[in-house]
Structure 1
Amino acid sequence: MLEEALASCDAVEAQLQRLNPMLEEVAGRLRRQPPQVAMTIARGSSDHAASYFAYLAMQHVGIPVASLPMSVVTLLQAPLKVSGQVAFGFSQSGQSPDLVNSLRLLRKRGVLSISMVNAEDSPLEAACEFHVPLCAGPEQSVAATKSFIATLSASAQLIGHWNQDLLLLQACQALPDGLREAATQDWTPAIEALRSSQRLIVIGRGAGFAIAQEAALKLKETSAIQAEAFSSAEVRHGPMALIDENYPLLVFAPRGAEQAGLLSLAADMRQRGARVLLA
């Protein structure tokens, strides 16, 4: 898992070398026949990456994005009026039958279908009109790392091409160096702070909430910590009642419009006695 996480910078570099023609083809199609609504379809880590994609699409392109429950398509066969819209399928393996069948059925109903998959020549790729490879290479760890990061990177690049956002595309070029720098950071203080924890709340907002969701999942599946993710906007509406002396909180507060509110919440939780880790 650690080896694969550290290889994420190589995956992003491979994307920057390979994906521009594919992304411009997809983006050109989206601009020529612009959908009014976008749907994301995914599970687990890929669904968290899809949430990140959704925030970027809404912020930069201005298109509403919804996560579509697969059961609505495959089990309930709901008569969705989706012709002319776009659906994005996210997956590491591209093998899940419900995911593949959902995209296949939506395509039959007139949806522009786009897959973002790490594994090559997958059934999901075959089911969709367009495909964006994640370029992360084989992933052996059950807990996905480099494929998750590669999905975030490919999502940002696709949004940059779709909206012809040169600043966003330039920022994507800096990602490999940023990932290498993050890999050299000393995370020992955070490890010590969480070593004895059995429960944890992970907090983010906006696109950062997707990262909080993924961090909570990783803490569950790798460390058996009952970690739950909440938007900072929701913490005061119930979850705050759980937070008492030494309750551990992990707060993601990246630069942007959401940062001030996240820092304010972190300060308030420290006053309540919580043990706050701020990233």
Structure 2
Amino acid sequence: MTRLPDPDTTKMHAEAAEAADAIARQFVANATVIETLAARLRAQPPRFIVTCARGSSDHAATYGKYLFETTLGLITASASPSVGSVYAVAPKLDGALFIAISQSGKSPDLLRNAEIAKASGAMVVALVNVADSPLAKLADTVIPLHAGPENSVAATKSYLCSLAALLQLTAHWSGDAALLAATKSLPDALRDAWNEDWSSLVSGLRLARSLFVIGRGFGLAAAQEAALKFKETCGLHAEAFSSAEVKHGPMAIVGPDFPVLVFAQDDDTGASTAAVADDFRSRGAPVWLARPGASGEGVLPLPTSPHPAVTPLLTVQAFYRAANALAIARGHDPDVPPHLNKVTETV
């Protein structure tokens, strides 16, 4: 049997721990491109926004949707890559801002959809970790993620860098003073989140077979990302739901021995999300709640967040450390999940 590494020696642990420094570098390196793009978008506002991504990058797009819609009031939709690449249909995107998010920037379906968007008159912006990738060369504007090399199959710092890039763009585009201030304080807040103790989650899920991960609003993207990482690194089946959507059927299977991880925001969605956690706990389900300022049974600590839009990044950063440790506890190497490759190219 292959000997598993210690949790603190995995590539996933090392790379996730680098997220705060990577984002600090990213903010400095991208200052000019962000300010230039924000000025252009203020001068020529798009009619709507379309995102295009897969996997963890699509979870980042979910976060972007809530940022854009709540801060800018611009309807944001997620494009299905198969519409352009498989069905060969060209959506009408004239006047849209088309944001493609990809670590490698070379998946054929994303490239095809970006080509279609550009041909239809959309402004194409690419968020990529490989700054000279085919997607970057095709885009009107490139926002490099500056995450640096990421060798673990599980994306960690590149995911957080994607969220940070969307945050920086939205803060400068909107000129929102509170969001701009929160952006500046993000790296330090991430360092605090990395040091939080989520060992109760690790011990509680070591023998689990399935669970729900719940979030809402800004926190939905964090729930989606956590559910993927449970499957990918821990061999643990997990499904992500909005705390509103879970009431429409899925909650019927929650009871004793069915664990639930809840990410509640420090905003107007927080109380209702925490109430869902209480409901599940009353049924005998093992429940863990992550919410800034929360206390009590099953609470996973988080540092004080400088802004609700920053909270999902802190939640995910604390989660990544726990997921890495949980993978080892369950007998999995988080760096080399079975049947998966670092770069997935879909057509």
Corresponding residue to 2:248 among 216, 225, 237: 237
Which position in structure 2 is the counterpart of 1:17?
28
Measure how far apart 1:246 and its partner are. 2.5
Which position in structure 1 is the counterpart of 2:14?
3
Contact 2:216 2:265 in 1 (8 A): no
Correspondence 1:146 to 2:157 = yes
Contact 2:124 2:139 in 1 (8 A): yes
Which position in structure 1 is the counterpart of 2:178?
167
Contact 1:118 1:133 in 2 (8 A): yes
Counting only pairs closer than 5 Å after superposition, residues 70-109 of structure 1 correspond to structure 2 as 70-109=81-120
Aligned length: 279
Normalising by structure 2, we get a TM-score of: 0.79
Q: Which has the higher contact order (CA 8 A, sep 6+)?
A: 2
Secondary structure in 2 matching 1:4: helix
Which amino acid in 1 is paired with 2:43?
Answer: R
Which amino acid in 1 is paired with 2:264?
Answer: A
Root mean square deviation, CA, Å: 0.9
Contact 2:214 2:263 in 1 (8 A): yes
Measure how far apart 1:78 and its partner are. 2.3
The alpha-carbon distance between structure 1 residues 212 and 86, as it changes in their structure 2 partners (threshold 3 A), is: same
Cα distance in structure 1, aligned partners of 2:90 and 2:278: 48
Counting only pairs closer than 5 Å after superposition, residues 1-279 of structure 1 correspond to structure 2 as 1-279=12-290
Contact 2:102 2:129 in 1 (8 A): yes
Measure how far apart 1:79 and its partner are. 4.2
The alpha-carbon distance between structure 1 residues 126 and 181, as it changes in their structure 2 partners (threshold 3 A), is: same
- Report Cα offsets for 1:179-214 as digits up to 9, x if no partner: 111111122111001111110100000110010000
Contact 2:131 2:142 in 1 (8 A): no
Gaps of 5+ in 1: none
Which amino acid in 2 is paired with 1:37?
Answer: F
Q: Greater share of helix residues, 1 or 2?
A: 1
- Report Cα offsets for 1:90-119 as digits up to 9, x if no partner: 011111011112101210111100000111
Cα distance in structure 2, aligned partners of 1:75 and 1:28: 36
Cα distance in structure 2, aligned partners of 1:159 and 1:195: 39
Contact 1:119 1:138 in 2 (8 A): no
Which position in structure 1 is the counterpart of 2:337?
none
- Report Cα offsets for 1:97-154 as digits up to 9, x if no partner: 1111210121011110000011121111011100101111011011000000011111
Which amino acid in 2 is paired with 1:246?
Answer: D
Normalising by structure 1, we get a TM-score of: 0.98
Cα distance in structure 2, aligned partners of 1:2 and 1:20: 28
Which amino acid in 2 is paired with 1:28?
Answer: A
Q: Which moved more, 1:176-185 or 1:226-235?
A: 176-185
